[in-house]
Structure 1
Amino acid sequence: MNRWTIRVRLTVLYGGLFFLAGAVLLGVTYLLMAQRLDRNLTDPGDLALRNEQVFERFGNPEVIKQAILNAQAEREQLRADALNSLLTQGGIALLGVGVVAGAFGWLVAGRALQPLHRITDTARRIAGADGARAALHERIALAGPRDEVKELAETFNVMLERLDRSFDGQRRFVANASHELRTPLALNRALVELAVTRPGAAAETKQLGESLLTVNERHERLIDGLLTLADAENEVAEHSPVDLCEVADFVLDQAKAPELEVVRQLAPAPTRGDPILLERLVQNLVENAVRHNAPGGWLAITTQAANGWAVLTVTNTGPVVPAYEVETLFQPFRRLHRERVDGGRGFGLGLSIVRAVAMAHGGTVRAEPREGGGLEITVALPQHA
């Protein structure tokens, strides 16, 4: 139920109450007026008694009888005219009162719903903001008595303040984690590389060092994915013109898939956003398509602008993906229960980052399983001219 429906219903309610009260008042006035006319013009019993007295005194000539009948008719006509005039004028007045009551009810309903409209508009503006906390600094300032609506606004303000503090704390945590987690891993990598490349290092030491470097690299990729996911779910700090066509072309040039056939159908697809995050989005899609592909398979990527959206589509061959498991691929740390084609194991963050980046830019992601195996993933972002 929208605001106009509520306002119309309140207006009808106010107008209906006034109209009902006016109708009752008109009916009571009609009854009282009829009784008053009957008393002033006498009732039929008294008139009949007077007729008998006149007949006894003057006889019963036809002229007197006709005059009496005419007097009775004029009395009835006078009474009917008075009551009809009351009904006509009262009906017009009642109609005018109904119109005035409707207008008054419309104004009263609008004034009563104005605080609720302000709360609704603020909530809609915050929900439609580009970033997760882009509008959390807004507050609802309602003046007037402390009633239920004002308490609702204050409760809403308290909720916004807590959400704002929570997002600030999350951003500080991401910044601190980026430094505290990456620095030790970089130091470990440097020490291991130094030990492996040292002259006279034993073969066992070099083999152990390579294993440690592999583990360290996996940890770096995991931390980098987690930090990217957390950063993508926050507000996008930079909005620059980005063409998905150029990003996809660059990512494909850097991709390592010599055993796959790569098909490019790249048309201009301009949008706005963070170039680093959008490059990571395309990179994750391409890497996912390569890792989940089949030997001798193919990978196709297309970009285009359609109906106000910049659309990126990545299609690949590969193992059959059940339709009921497609949505789980976008959840963090959720993977299909099968080994990667390249023999490695991922962390289940690739498509989670893709969805987070797309949503942070006001876009959508849709994945559909291909007949015969593989996926077709489509990303749609708001187009920028």
Structure 2
Amino acid sequence: MTVMHVRRLLPQRITLRARLTLIYGGLFFAAGIVLLGSTYALFHQQISSGGSVRFASLGPGESPPTIGKGTTVTANGDTLTGGDAEKFLVSERSRIENAATTSLITQGGIALAIVGGVAVGFGWLIAGRTLAPLRQVTETARRIAAAPVAERGLHERIALRGPDDEVKDLADTFDTMVERLDRSFAGQRRFVANASHELRTPLTLSRAMVEVAMHRKSASPDLVQLGDDLLEINGRHERLITGLLLLASSENEVIQQAPVDLADVVEHVVADTAREADATGVVVTEDLDETVVSGDALLLERLVQNLVENGIRHNVAADGWVRVTTRMGNDATVHLEVSNTGPDVPPYDIPMLFEPFRRLDNDRLATAKGAGLGLSIVRSVAAAHQGDVVAEPRQGGGLVVRVTLPAATDA
């Protein structure tokens, strides 16, 4: 049998509980063997150093006979003297020693095995009770790590109760770390939301002032052109602020859910973006099946709109197209796929596209194509609905973006 086969037969993972049980049992059996060996050595020494032994077999009412030095009475009542007595004593001592040794080793070994098995069982139970707090820590950390959004499960705490020992210190330290992370993420979301709200007011005022100045009868053509440029810049900033607000809100859990047919949402979005598609020469096609999910209709509409707008804006100049499909999966899921023609996208650049303010050309400025929040919002909305989104390069250029969402339970 080769080394590889031996490794396959061996268990891949031995739990800490099993290792502690093996250690407890090994130490107990080692101590028991040492105890039996010591008892045997002391017994053998005591037997070897013993003097003459007299044996007599007396009946009821009989008085022991008078025996002189070097005389021995056997169990049968025979009296032995001289060399016969010494030989008898030696044979009797050897017989007793062998019987005691056999009894000590055999019965002691059986007793050691029985008590050792009981000790291993108790060791398994005690190890389980001792490691129970560690399992609680592990399960809490696993639930936090399995949350669809990184900060979604940070509200959980271990709150371990028990003796003030090293395990409780570990749990309390973990709770403190998670609490600080939770406060940090919550503060970041509040800052984005508050900053976005505060910035929308001056942008609205500046738009109104520019429009008033442009529509004056005395406005010169240069002033009107300047107003158009300012309104375009103002519109980009408004889109950026709207994207930030939506990104902050989509990272919260969707509490109020309603059945939403993604096919209807796609039809509405395609009709809404038809003017932009016609202006850029991009053909948008649909292949839709009824796909009902539970969620927020506005957020889901924004998800589809961002994908379709990205497909239109990041496309080729001629013969460009965007294809949108919806399908029901076999595992109670809904699949939305948006593919488009466009420039070649390296596979290693795709994760970067889902980060806020990141684009394929590493441009971090807001342009006419968007503010760099489209796919970030898509991922946040999908995660808020317990879904997932993946993208991959399309052969020939462009992207294929697939969104998977849980189907409505009453669909």
TM-score, length of structure 1 as denominator length = 0.82
| Alpha-carbon RMSD | 3.3
Give yes or no for contact 2:52–2:89 (8 Å, CA) kept in 1. Answer: no
2:347 aligned with 1:323: yes
CA distance in 2, matches of 1:120, 1:2: 20
CA distance in 1, matches of 2:375, 2:149: 20
Runs of 5+ consecutive residues of structure 2 not aligned to the other structure: 1-10, 54-69, 72-79
Aligned twin of 1:54: none
Q: Percent identity?
A: 55
Aligned twin of 1:191: 209
Aligned twin of 2:372: 348
Q: Which amino acid is 1:377 matched to?
A: V
Rate the CA distance shift 1:174–1:327 in 2: closer, same or farther, 3 A.
Answer: closer
Give yes or no for contact 2:239–2:370 (8 Å, CA) kept in 1. Answer: no
2:52 aligned with 1:34: no
Q: Which is helix-richer, 1 or 2?
A: 1
CA distance in 2, matches of 1:31, 1:372: 87
C-alpha deviations, 1:162-212, integer Å up to 9, x for none? 233323323432332232111111122222223333445433332222222
Q: Matched residue of 1:153: which SS?
A: helix
Q: Matched residue of 1:368: which SS?
A: strand
1:214-253 correspondence to structure 2 within 5 Å: 214-253=232-271
CA distance in 1, matches of 2:379, 2:142: 22
CA distance in 2, matches of 1:173, 1:59: 110
Q: 1:238: Cα distance to partner?
A: 3.9
Give yes or no for contact 1:266–1:302 (8 Å, CA) kept in 2. Answer: yes
CA distance in 2, matches of 1:239, 1:189: 35
Q: Matched residue of 1:326: which SS?
A: helix
Rate the CA distance shift 1:102–1:59 in 2: closer, same or farther, 3 A.
Answer: closer
C-alpha deviations, 1:243-289, integer Å up to 9, x for none? 33332232222222233333322223343333322221211111111
Give yes or no for contact 1:366–1:378 (8 Å, CA) kept in 2. Answer: yes
Q: 1:221: Cα distance to partner?
A: 0.8
Q: 1:137: Cα distance to partner?
A: 3.9
Rate the CA distance shift 1:206–1:30 in 2: closer, same or farther, 3 A.
Answer: same
C-alpha deviations, 1:308-339, integer Å up to 9, x for none? 43221111112222233223222222223399
Q: Matched residue of 1:337: which SS?
A: coil
2:360 aligned with 1:336: yes
Q: Which amino acid is 1:305 matched to?
A: M
2:333 aligned with 1:301: no
1:114 to 117, 132, 136: 132
Aligned twin of 2:384: 360
Give yes or no for contact 1:174–1:231 (8 Å, CA) kept in 2. Answer: no
CA distance in 2, matches of 1:41, 1:231: 97
Q: Matched residue of 1:373: which SS?
A: coil
Aligned twin of 2:34: 24
Runs of 5+ consecutive residues of structure 1 not aligned to the other structure: 44-49, 52-56
CA distance in 2, matches of 1:195, 1:59: 143
CA distance in 2, matches of 1:245, 1:137: 35
Q: Matched residue of 2:377: which SS?
A: helix
C-alpha deviations, 1:22-44, integer Å up to 9, x for none? 1111121222233334445879x
Q: Which amino acid is 2:400 matched to?
A: E
Q: Matched residue of 1:371: which SS?
A: coil
Q: 1:219: Cα distance to partner?
A: 0.8
Rate the CA distance shift 1:225–1:59 in 2: closer, same or farther, 3 A.
Answer: closer
2:211 aligned with 1:211: no
Rate the CA distance shift 1:91–1:365 in 2: closer, same or farther, 3 A.
Answer: same
Q: Matched residue of 2:15: which SS?
A: helix
Aligned twin of 2:297: 275
Count of residue pairs brought into register by the alignment: 366
